Amino acid sequence: MTKIVIFDFDGTIGDTRQNIIDTLQRTMRERSLEVRGGDECASTIGLTLRDSFMTMYPTMGVVEAEECVEHYRRIFYESIEEHIPTLFDGVGEALARLHAMGLVLTIASSRSSPSLLLFLKNMGVAHYFSYVIGADNVARHKPDPEPVLQTLRECGFSPSEAVVVGDMAVDMLMARNASVRCVGVTWGNASREELEASQADHVIDHISELFECI
């Protein structure tokens, strides 16, 4: 029986795709890097920023990647209040219903916790979530199981009582590595085929379908 739902944020709860792409590409231009296309940028959503840069630039070292991260964050925080994401269709209503059912709702994101908490508050959904993990709250990131295992430990649940909901393969792999069921969503940044290939237990096209999965 499902007792806790662990959500990803970017591409699952909030529509942040274009904001992320724009900030990545501006960082690339300002650092005189070859600018990657929008789809390639979007394919790294779900990874930490450092891993995103190192994935798009395979010869980039850790030090340069960290400099890119700092540059990205400087651009991002200059105008963060102007870029509060919108909820995907039906997500607000679904969160309210899940909360009313007595399920514990949490978030495990590769986004840093300051922006994550700010977004949740400004989107009007922070009160639904009992526990929130950002990239700065764990030592090992998706697809490592640490974000899920830490959530379960802090909230007092077993893997069999949990389900992970996310839009990327790394979310499904994180869940698998923690022996937790997973639901892939197609309204984010990965295709149905990519989610199925990553062994999602279910793949849904609208948040209303989540209730049948849990």
* Interval 111-160: pLDDT, tens: 999 999 999 999 999 999 999 999 999 999 999 999 999 999 999 999 99
What angle is formed at CA 187 by the lines to CA 189 and CA 179, rounded to 5 degrees?
75
Residue 204 sits in the same domain as residue 114: yes
According to DSSP, the residues that pair with 87 across neighbouring strands are 14
pLDDT attached to residue 97 = 98
Residue 108 sits in the same domain as residue 195: yes
Residues 2 and 162 sit within 8 Å (Cβ to Cβ): yes
Whether the per-residue pLDDT at 210 is higher than 90: the answer is yes
Residue 71 sits in the same domain as residue 115: no
pLDDT attached to residue 80 = 80
158-173 tens-digit pLDDT: 999 999 999 999 999 9
Q: Mean pLDDT of all residues in the chain?
A: 96
Residue 152 sits in the same domain as residue 187: yes
Residue 188 sits in the same domain as residue 199: yes
56-105 tens-digit pLDDT: 999 999 999 999 999 999 999 888 877 889 999 999 999 999 999 999 99
Residue 76 sits in the same domain as residue 94: no
Report the amino acid identity of residue 15: D
How many domains in the chain? 2
DSSP H or E segment with residue 10 = none
Residue 121 sits in the same domain as residue 207: yes
Domain end (from 63, 82, 101): 82
Residue 10 sits in the same domain as residue 23: no
Residues 7 and 166 sit within 8 Å (Cβ to Cβ): yes
Domain end (from 43, 60, 82): 82
Which of the four pLDDT bands, split at 50, 70 and 90, describes residue 190? Answer: very high
Residue 157 sits in the same domain as residue 194: yes
CA dihedral sign of residues 140, 145, 146, 151 = positive
Residue 91 sits in the same domain as residue 77: no
Q: In which domain, by residue range, is 209 found?
A: 4-15+85-213
